[in-house]
Structure 1
Amino acid sequence: MDTPYTVSMSKSMVVMQPQPVMVSRHSDQWGSGTFDCCDDMSECCFAFWCLPCFTCIKAKNYGECLCLPLLDFFGCVPPITMSIRVSMRQRYGIKGDMCNDCLLATCCRACVWCQMSREMKVRDLQITLVGARNL
């Protein structure tokens, strides 16, 4: 039954959808140095007195499994600390390399976790979408 209002369906398929552009207001460097623990004394003291608790809380805040950092305490090179540091560098667009991440995670684990905690506070995952339309 044809009506004057028959709608024709197109057989073409959209292959690529436009993606939103993420704009960061932060630099490509860490917001603070690895050994700038005095910038946040309460976090530094917490990390110094109970590093396992501190790392678990910070991993959860970052979006990872709560108990994942506990695996670091069974080896020489802490794989979880290193991988979260690398992930954080990639997420925030911070320049660096895995060799430096490995060295710092192995020798200065508490300082690295304090630095990552400060970075999460500063960055706070504020993302501005450019070119996105409201529907």
Structure 2
Amino acid sequence: MLKKEHVDEHEEVYAAHHRHPGYVLPVVVPPNYGTPQIPSYAPPYISTSVSVRGPVIRTNRWSTNLCHCTEDPGNCLVTCFCPCVTFGLIAEIVDKGNTTCTYAGAIYGTLLALSGLSCLYSCYYRSKLRAQYDLPEAPCMDCLVHFCCETCALCQEYRELKNRGFDLSIGWEANMERQRQGAIVSPVMSQSMTR
């Protein structure tokens, strides 16, 4: 493939007629055909912090807003129609496996069915989650968030744990096993040629 070694007449005419300040005629530099391209590879990276999957967020603020429920439409639907499932998943991770998903979900469902005040139980877990990750009590007090907008609060907590690297669908023990197996991250190969 041949490269242009001079500027097209069209470019010169454009520059002459329009006289834009700062317009510089492009200069085409011929490729260096004599130098061989040697691919470079990044050295293996051994992680000192353990992550479960994807980018792990380590900030002291919520990774998503309270009303961003549709960022995870599947969880949003489950939480709308069966909040005890989402709550059970959250509780198992927040309690680090000491409470099972089934047990926490059953208590939540029973409180919801008998009194409608399951928000008093779930706000405790929001407070516990905030304490674990040093999150602010926002947009207002935990109990008020859960009382006024239980579904949004549960969705936000689910997304927060997910964004911090947890797969809530597999439970605490499986997440810990993934962390043990994923302690050594495979090296990243850099491509030397692109199209």
Please indicate the TM-score interval, normalised by the length of the shorter structure.
Answer: 0.5 to 0.7
Structure 1 residue 57 displacement after superposition: 2.7
Q: TM-score w.r.t. structure 2 length? A: 0.46
Corresponding residue to 1:105 among 146, 149, 161: 146
Distance 1:117 1:91 in 2: 14
The 5 Å alignment of 1:13-24 reads: none
Letter in 2 for 1:118: R
Where do 5+ consecutive residues of structure 2 fail to align? 1-55, 167-195
CA contact (8 A) 2:57 2:63 kept: no
Task: Determine the structure 1 residue equivalent to 2:48.
Answer: none
The 5 Å alignment of 1:22-33 reads: 26-33=58-65
Q: Can you list the C-alpha shifts for 1:59-94, whole angstroms capped at 9, x where unaligned?
A: 223333432333541353622211100000000011
CA contact (8 A) 1:37 1:111 kept: yes
Change in CA separation of 1:93 and 1:51 when aligned onto 2, cut-off 3 Å: same
Structure 1 residue 53 displacement after superposition: 2.3
Quote the RMSD (CA, aligned, Å): 2.4
Q: Can you list the C-alpha shifts for 1:85-113, whole angstroms capped at 9, x where unaligned?
A: 0000000011227x611111101111111
Distance 1:76 1:50 in 2: 15
Q: Give the aligned length.
A: 101
Which is greater in Rg?
2
Distance 1:57 1:81 in 2: 12
Distance 1:40 1:25 in 2: 17
The 5 Å alignment of 1:1-80 reads: 26-63=58-95, 64-66=99-101, 67-68=103-104, 69-70=108-109, 72-73=111-112, 74-76=115-117, 78-80=119-121
Corresponding residue to 1:86 among 127, 134, 141: 127
Q: Secondary structure at 1:78's aligned position in 2?
A: helix
Task: Give the share of equivalent positions with the same residue, in percent.
Answer: 23
CA contact (8 A) 2:75 2:155 kept: yes
Distance 2:118 2:88 in 1: 17
Letter in 2 for 1:70: G
Distance 2:155 2:143 in 1: 16
More deviation, 66-75/48-57: 66-75
Letter in 1 for 2:147: T
CA contact (8 A) 2:90 2:158 kept: yes
CA contact (8 A) 2:66 2:153 kept: yes
